[in-house]
Chains A and B, each alone.
Chain A
């Protein structure tokens, strides 16, 4: 696992991102309507549209616009948002930091709960513990986040309890306690969903491994059950879990639009939906690129972790 391997994966990552940006650019352009229409609303007379398109550079050919945007990337310039008329880079960067914080914390919380619970459920398959853990996890998957969120707000963030702020975001620099308070409810809502997902895959993977020859051999050798479980089974049983973790981080970056709306949390999910709905192409491209980069990085880490856990997989 050397520098060559990492360099190659980095290159592959870049290729993925390039493909991604081309797909998104093409798709968004094929959609009816453009930023000029969404900027002008009812004022969209043919003359106004023509004038605005000229001003925004939307009347150039698609290829020219794409290349123009692309060459700015190495310089760190992600173009100018057409609907907000501000540089796209800083907007995306700020949202990115918020989403990253949320994604990492949620993943850690969910992982810390789901993996031990999944292992415990698998070790005691069929017992009351297993059944109750499993049932609780099903509830997590079947209630949509936009139902859980308002319920939590009504219970925890409204009188009489009012334990937490109901929405918004506070920068860590201003107040760590405030930042934490604002992030708790979104994390709970999201973790609900993630725990269910992770727990089931963990349990499933563990069940597979626990009945394999490898484990039987370890038991035959007379090792204590706990050692068998944690030292041997877990290492091999977690490969799907790791893949799921990587996917979930990516999911948390880009798909939690509704939670971001309900909690007015300024993340990338909302930004992406806003920019597609308003055909703000520089924002769409930039956001997609950032989310894509996170997926690429997360998947790379997942592949590395899987190879570390199960060396037989690590062929080139």
Chain B
């Protein structure tokens, strides 16, 4: 590429990093490294087009459930807090936040001078209105439970918000950084029905055009409270459901970024000249839900036997096409802060597995129904691979593919049949652990809570939420990981890495474990970017 001569002096290091990146090494290091080199030369201007995979139904930040919806609202709104590149949390709209010693009361002080897109000033009343709307049962907010045990929220004065919890919750700041807690103006909350297509936010970009399931066109917010940002004039999100056309669009420079690369396409994308392909260890997974409260999987020996039949590195490779991380039947991946790397990956042992089955009275194996929703497609891959592994010891899964709506209304969490679940990376360990294993804060998906180990897990989860000392939390979550891995009601063979592809002229594109943290406010284009108008 002849543009080399126009690049900054950091080009050698950047090229080196890119090669590292394309080969998949140094994944977690990346965000920091890229930022350090590039920030000094950031130039404003230009349009960036991102190709996204599927559904984009609504811009309502409280009701959205799809990744692409969160990728849109993260640029149109702000939260009280936001996650940092290294997994910590910092203030976004909040200038500072403090907790009372028992972490049952939190106080947030808002920045001064922040304006919504319509010109009105941000005040505590907006935060109160938003949070109350999320908590209101009539709203039916899908992720209300993950906000934490909020009892009440009050405006102490124009710039101060006080949140009272019904029980201590150390992760409140991180919970408030998640996609469903974006701050909408009071006027917007009053106009709730219009939020699907209208934006009442403070974000770095202003909505220009939205066509559901097709595209979102955004323009720079000239009044954004972080002065100088965003650098881009325009940000366009396009839905391109087919992998071949995504790749072609990238090759033709019709798009500048693929927001979430399909694992099968990753190697091919990495080979395109002038494209950076990045993978970051992720935390998304599919779990085979086995019920611990009924035969055959109520017998811990049968669960252990199935675990021992899984060759996880092979499975991870097959399911993700080589861009995944083997998992050990519990949902905390290396992307999480309290991941315990001392726990060894379980190795398959077919002989022991068969022995355990025989002891449990299933010497000749058994059949078992496994329902698989047709969306996302990775569920089917996981099911087929697990089926093949289980067959080696005589457990025959009968896969039943199902339309997603039917699955959602008749199978998911109904305790009717085993199925393949699908969960994205959460901002905190507690969010995913309570969702899966707690009956109080989540859905106890595997019906495990009434067993001895399940009871213990519930206790640990409650403890972990309330304790704020990092050392203590690390120990609690380490115990939980071991417990879930050894006794839990799920098979989780792998985590999916977060995969990105950007043109070489795109700088500072956010590459995180949580792919929906697609905040483009720091992103800028090198001079060789093609000039484009939507």
Chain A residues close to B by CB (< 8 Å): 31-34, 37-44, 47-49, 51-52, 54-55, 83-86, 91, 149-150, 153-154, 157-159, 162, 165-168, 261-264, 266, 274, 277-279
Contact = CB atoms under 8 A, between A and B. Distances in A.
Given A157-B248, A158-B248, A279 B405 contact: yes
A154 B212 contact: no
Nearest to B247: A158
Interface of B: 57-58, 60, 63, 65, 137-144, 193, 196-197, 211-214, 238-242, 244-245, 247-249, 251-252, 254, 403-406, 408-410, 412
Contact of B140 (A34, A51, A154, A263): A51
A59 to B, nearest CB: 13
A266 B215 CA distance: 11
A44 B144 CA distance: 11
A278 to B, nearest CB: 7
B56 to A, nearest CB: 10
B239 to A, nearest CB: 7
B254 A165 contact: yes
A274 B213 contact: yes
B241 A266 contact: no
Given A33-B408, A33-B410, A264-B241, A167 B63 contact: no
Nearest to B374: A277
Contact of A262 (B138, B213, B245): B245
Contacts of A32: 405-406, 409-410
A264 B238 contact: yes
B239 A264 contact: yes
Nearest to A260: B241
6 contacts: A32-B410, A37-B409, A39-B142, A44-B408, A261-B241, A264-B241
Contacts of B142: 39-44, 48
Contacts of B212: 84, 86, 91
B65 A43 contact: yes
Contacts of B137: 47-48, 51
A278 B63 CA distance: 15
Contacts of A154: 244, 248
Given A86-B196, A153-B245, 11 more contacts: A31-B406, A32-B410, A42-B142, A44-B142, A55-B138, A162-B252, A166-B248, A168-B254, A264-B240, A264-B242, A277-B403
Q: Which of A32, A55, A149, A165 has the most CB of B within 10 A?
A: A32
Q: Which of B141, B193, B405, B412 has the most CB of A within 10 A?
A: B405
A33 B410 CA distance: 7
Given A33-B405, A51-B140, A279-B405, A153 B240 contact: no
A83 B57 CA distance: 7
Contacts of A48: 137, 140-142, 144
Contact of A40 (B65, B196, B242, B252): B65
A264 B245 contact: yes
Contact of A165 (B193, B211, B247, B252): B252
B408 A51 contact: no
Contacts of A266: 211, 214
A108 B468 CA distance: 70
B139 A166 contact: no
A262 B197 contact: no
A162 B251 CA distance: 9
A8 B194 CA distance: 43
Contacts of A51: 137-140
- The 5 A-B residue pairs whose C-beta atoms are closest, nearest first, are A43-B142, A33-B409, A166-B248, A33-B405, A167-B245
A160 to B, nearest CB: 10
Contact of B57 (A34, A44, A84, A264): A84
Contacts of B238: 168, 264
A153 B252 CA distance: 11
A167 B58 contact: no
A221 B142 CA distance: 80
Contact of A278 (B143, B197, B405): B405
A279 B403 CA distance: 11
A165 to B, nearest CB: 6
Q: Which of A39, A52, A85, A277 has the most CB of B within 10 A?
A: A85
